[in-house]
Amino acid sequence: MARQELARFLRERRAGLRPDVVGLPTSAPRRTPGLRREEVAELAHMSVDYVVRLEQGRGPRPSPRILDGLARALRLTPAERSHLFRLAGSTAPPPGADAVRRVSPRVARMLERLPETGAIVTDAAYGVVAWNPLARALLGDDLGRGTTNLARRRFLGAGRMYETSSAEEFGHIVVARLRRAADRYPHDRRLAALLAELRTGSEEFGQVWETRPVHAPGHRTKTLVHPVVGQLRLNCDVLLVPEDDQEVVLMTADPGSPSARTLRELAAGSS
């Protein structure tokens, strides 16, 4: 257990967290920035004395339950949460309560630098949390509403659906990922509601779920029939964002191919 590093990490995160972020009033004057120790203790459901001892590098090794409470109280990212557990000498931090449904600024900036590549970011429940203009041109304007979920698209027809050569395979990929998400986030209410909606609305989803499919992200090629530009042969590659349990899906075409020329035209029209 790295006591002094843990103490410094907790002090810095407390000082860097604004009261309004955790729902506390900001009208009263504060002598120091960030939260008070009393506020962290209340949010983490522990005694003030214990928070003080941790921040001073004293006291016993905190349990996973204590660490989990501190992570929630300090609004730690998944990466910061894992770091907290490592500093405390715990090698296996439990997953966060909910899937991360926001995209990090660095990933969002990456999408802007891919003008001739369609790119989307999906969370653990297959919600689309970010996209670039070419992806929207490929997958439909409803992508821009910020509520698109690819599992709903695939099994419930929610959103614009294009004919593709990989619909059956993609259904198994969706279910495999949702199964992983259900294991990792058993207390995520939005995920539980999504799974209930899919089970109720799609007999196919229930059937695929029972097969317990396993798929790893990687390279796949599919044919997409676009309503305006016609048939496109696309390469789909997935990059992982492990700290947020998200995936970046990149859609490209072979250089010099008709599909590549069409993508270039779509990109020019969507910029």
pLDDT in tens, 116-138: 899 999 999 999 999 999 998 88
Q: How confident is the model at residue 93 (pLDDT cuts 50, 70, 90)?
A: low
Question: Residue 110's domain spans which residues?
Answer: 105-270
In a domain, 12, yes or no: yes
Model pLDDT, residue 259 = 94
Residues 137 and 230 grouped into a single domain: yes
The pLDDT value given to residue 131: 92
| Residues 165-194, mean pLDDT to the nearest whole number | 88
pLDDT band (50, 70, 90) for residue 86: confident
Cβ contacts of residue 119 below 8 Å, gap of 6+?
110, 111, 131, 132, 134, 135, 248, 249, 250, 251
Concatenate the DSSP letters of all residues of 192-246 into one string: HHHHHHHHHH-HHHHHHHHT--------EEEEEEETTTEEEEEEEEEEEEGGGTE
Is the domain of 127 the same as that of 65? no
- Same domain? 29 vs 131: no
Neighbours of 91 (CB within 10 A): 8
Q: Is the pLDDT of residue 248 over 90?
A: yes
Sheet with strand 220-226: strands edge to edge: 128-131, 118-122, 246-252, 230-241, 220-226, 163-164
Which CATH number fits the domain that encloses residue 231?
Answer: 3.30.450.180
- Is residue 92 domain-resident? no
- 258 within a domain of the structure (yes/no): yes
Q: Which of 87, 121, 155 is the last residue of a domain?
A: 87
Q: 19 and 131: one domain?
A: no
In a shared domain, residues 83 and 111: no
* 53: its two tokens: 């001892």
Same domain, 64 and 137: no
| Shared domain check, 113 and 67 | no
User: Of 27, 53, 87, which residue constitutes the final position of a domain?
Assistant: 87
Question: Distance between CA 232 and CA 268 in Å, rounded?
Answer: 17
Based on the domain organization, do 148 and 226 belong to the same domain? yes
Does residue 98 belong to any structural domain of this protein?
A: no
**Are 132 and 242 in the same domain?**
yes
Residue 237 lies in a domain: yes
- What CATH number has the domain bearing residue 34? 1.10.260.40
Lowest-pLDDT range, 63-72, 186-195, 255-264?
63-72
Contact 234, 86 (CB under 8 A): no
DSSP β-bridge partners for residue 225:
163, 231
Number of other CB atoms surrounding residue 175 within 10 Å: 27
In the chain, the DSSP E strands lie at: 118-122, 128-131, 163-164, 220-226, 230-241, 246-252
* Pairwise pLDDT comparison (163 vs 139), residue with the higher score: 139
Q: In the chain, how many domains are there?
A: 2
Residue 97 within a domain:
no
The answer to whether position 99 is within a domain reads no
Higher-confidence residue of 235 and 166: namely 235
Last residue within a domain, chosen from 26, 52, 87: 87
- Average pLDDT score, the chain: 85
Tokens of 238: 């997935």
CA distance 85 to 72: 13
Does residue 22 belong to any structural domain of this protein? yes
Using 50, 70 and 90 to split pLDDT, how confident is the model at 17? confident
209 and 262 belong to one structural domain: yes
| Domain co-membership, 195 together with 77 | no
Interval 185-205 mean pLDDT: 93
| Residue 128 and residue 63 in one domain | no
